[in-house]
Amino acid sequence: MTLEAGSSLKTGSGTGTSSIGSLFKALNSGTTTSRQIVESCLNAIDQRDGSIGAFLHIDRERALQAAEASDLRRSTGEVRGPLDGLPISIKDAICEAGQPATCASRILEGYVSPYSATVIDRLHAAGAIPLGRVNLDEFAMGSSSENSAYQLTHNPWDLTRTPGGSSSGSAASVAARMVPGSLGSDTGGSIRQPASLCGIVGLKPTYGRVSRYGLVAFASSLEQIGPFSLDVFGAAALLQTIAGHDPHDSTCVNTPAEDYLQTLDTPLADLRIGVPKEYFGEGLDPEVQNIVEEALAVYSQHGAKLIPVELPHSKYSVATYYIIAPSEASSNLARFDGIHYGYRSPNFTDLESLYAASRGEGFGPEVKRRIMLGTYALSAGYADKYYVKALQIRRLIRHDFDAAFQQCDVIAGPVTPTPAFRLGELTDDPLAMYLSDIYTIAANLAGIPAISIPAGWTASGLPVGLQLQGPVFTESRLLRAARMLEIDRPWIDRLPPAAGG
């Protein structure tokens, strides 16, 4: 099923790192060490990241020290779990004490976090090694990496194309075999869309499953931190590590996380897959449609039933989302004032002009566009017409899912309407960029979990993902369903050109 970890590591300069599942096995059998794994990741970064552009900051010495500590634990039989000793890249919007967190924005250039996100504390407790901070669209607003104030990230399958976004560096760093896993965040598809465009696994948990404490807030009612991995096992191991109640986040639910690994290899019997006709209509690239339908056929061969379902309010999800998310952003980003942290403009005469100049100069074009849009939607005379209306339609979108899940266990469809587009292709048209989120944002509005898994490749070699969505707190079901496809059509041996494929 997976690349032989030992062989990839011996080649050193060859294929880079491997999947979390195979590295875990190799560590357990003693054929490799955490130090060797971290070194192979650092080598791969040195060779490839110049052309990929995933990393904003790398902490080599600390990673190597953590690897040695992990190897020492292993030698005394104190392994902390499947992530012990494995390097993980971190989206540069998730805070870690003593590390930079720029959110790929000029306004946070030079910022060093005074505290750690709960997910980071949990990674450390599990022995995982945060290896570096990876690129994103500024403040997680975007779908391509082009809104980063610092650099473009390129798709490892075709360097002229976007890796997707906003968790661009997370997806590209894993797909290019520079790290076996990553943490990103998903507000409207920012984990699933780049996972799909980069040919890896990405999971957005149920709203409230994972603590958001220490994630720089963009749209608080929509976003969740979640895993990227080459394999389903890795996504399950990462989710299991970061999920669960946190008193620091009042929206993080107080139900224990499940053991996602326990049931992972048990196929779901009599799986009922809902197929919404709204996901296969106008705007869907025919090649993407074929690949998704072929993946559904695999499930049929394993006894799953494909059931037509309806999500009649799907067509309103983009407009609904782009009222609610910018509204929340306009409020959340008010904290960047040039006083407490971040950029302060020298061009001011009084306090108000200090605020306005610092924000006007510190934020990039898309962030300002969304703050403006949200401010408009919340302003006197417009709030009922836009914001409240959008919240009402949000409930109807959730009702659609509740009704559909009466008939099926999961809902399947494409992640994105097209394979990865070219960098520069959509930058002149913000609305066209927003429309590329059409299949992913409903899950955020409804708060349900969703996963993207590699379904196939286009004739020109671009990966295409399959999206599975489930009712709230069915991450275990989604991971098991994803594993069924992975067993039948393993994707891990297919390497992107940027990783020697």
Kindly list the catalytic residues: 91, 166, 190
The binder of other proteins chosen from 88, 120, 149, 482 (CB under 8 A) = 149
Token duo for residue 305: 């039933």
Q: Is 282 in the site for other proteins (CB under 8 A)?
A: no
Task: Please give the angle made by the CA atoms of 214, 218 and 220, to the nearest 5 degrees.
Answer: 75
The binder of other proteins chosen from 12, 388, 402, 497 (CB under 8 A) = 388
Q: Is 321 in the site for other proteins (CB under 8 A)?
A: no
**What does residue 177 show for φ and ψ, rounded to 5 degrees?**
60, 35
The residue range among 5-13, 65-73, 276-284, 330-338 that interacts with other proteins, by the rule CB under 8 A, is 330-338
User: d(Cα 452, Cα 273) in Å, to the nearest integer?
Assistant: 15
Separation of first and last alpha carbons in the chain: 17
Q: How many CB atoms lie within 10 A of CB 376?
A: 16
Within 265-313, strands assigned E span 272-276, 305-309
Site for other proteins in 119-148 (CB under 8 A): 146-147
Q: Is 12 in the site for other proteins (CB under 8 A)?
A: no
The binder of other proteins chosen from 203, 215, 357, 404 (CB under 8 A) = 357
**What does residue 127 show for φ and ψ, rounded to 5 degrees?**
85, 0
Tell me, residue by residue from 469 to 498, as one string, x for binding to other proteins by CB under 8 A and - for no binding. ---x--------------------------
**What does residue 376 show for φ and ψ, rounded to 5 degrees?**
-65, -50
Question: Nearest approach, Cβ of 245 to other proteins (angstroms)?
Answer: 11
Tell me, residue by residue from 398 to 437, as one string, x for binding to other proteins by CB under 8 A and - for no binding. x----------------------------xxxxx--x---
Q: Of 466, 452, 483, which is closest to residue 189 (Cα–Cα)?
A: 452
The binder of other proteins chosen from 159, 298, 306, 391 (CB under 8 A) = 391
Q: Of 211, 26, 38, which is closest to residue 117 (Cα–Cα)?
A: 211
The binder of other proteins chosen from 1, 72, 297, 334 (CB under 8 A) = 334
For other proteins, the closer of residues 316 and 457 by Cβ is: 316
For other proteins, the closer of residues 236 and 446 by Cβ is: 446
**What does residue 287 show for φ and ψ, rounded to 5 degrees?**
-70, -40
Task: Please give the angle made by the CA atoms of 18, 167 and 469, to the nearest 5 degrees.
Answer: 85
The binder of other proteins chosen from 35, 272, 389, 494 (CB under 8 A) = 389
Q: Is 356 in the site for other proteins (CB under 8 A)?
A: yes
For other proteins, the closer of residues 150 and 457 by Cβ is: 150
Q: Is residue 166 reached through a cis peptide bond, with omega within 30 degrees of 0 on the bond before it? A: yes
Q: Is 114 in the site for other proteins (CB under 8 A)?
A: yes
The residue range among 23-31, 164-172, 189-197, 383-391 that interacts with other proteins, by the rule CB under 8 A, is 383-391
The binder of other proteins chosen from 85, 184, 189, 447 (CB under 8 A) = 447
Question: Nearest approach, Cβ of 429 to other proteins (angstroms)?
Answer: 8
Q: Is 317 in the site for other proteins (CB under 8 A)?
A: no
Q: Is 373 in the site for other proteins (CB under 8 A)?
A: yes
The binder of other proteins chosen from 368, 461, 490, 494 (CB under 8 A) = 368
Q: CB within 8 A of 254, min separation 6: which ones?
A: 245
425 to 23, 267, 477: CA distances (angstroms) = 38, 41, 37
Question: Nearest approach, Cβ of 250 to other proteins (angstroms)?
Answer: 4
Question: Nearest approach, Cβ of 107 to other proteins (angstroms)?
Answer: 11
For other proteins, the closer of residues 300 and 347 by Cβ is: 347
| Bridge partners, 243 (sequence order) | 210
How long a stretch of residues is the chain?
501
The binder of other proteins chosen from 213, 218, 228, 363 (CB under 8 A) = 363
Q: Is 355 in the site for other proteins (CB under 8 A)?
A: yes
Site for other proteins in 50-109 (CB under 8 A): none
Q: How many CB atoms lie within 10 A of CB 155?
A: 33
Q: Is 335 in the site for other proteins (CB under 8 A)?
A: no
118 to 82, 126, 372, 413, 440: CA distances (angstroms) = 19, 12, 31, 32, 26
Site for other proteins in 196-255 (CB under 8 A): 206-208, 221, 247, 250-251, 253
Report the 3 state secondary structure along 124-188: HHCCCEEEEEECCCHHHCCCCCCCCCCCCCCECCECCECCCCCCHHHHHHHHCCCCCEEEEEECC
Residue 77 corresponds to which amino acid?
G
The binder of other proteins chosen from 341, 425, 461, 489 (CB under 8 A) = 341
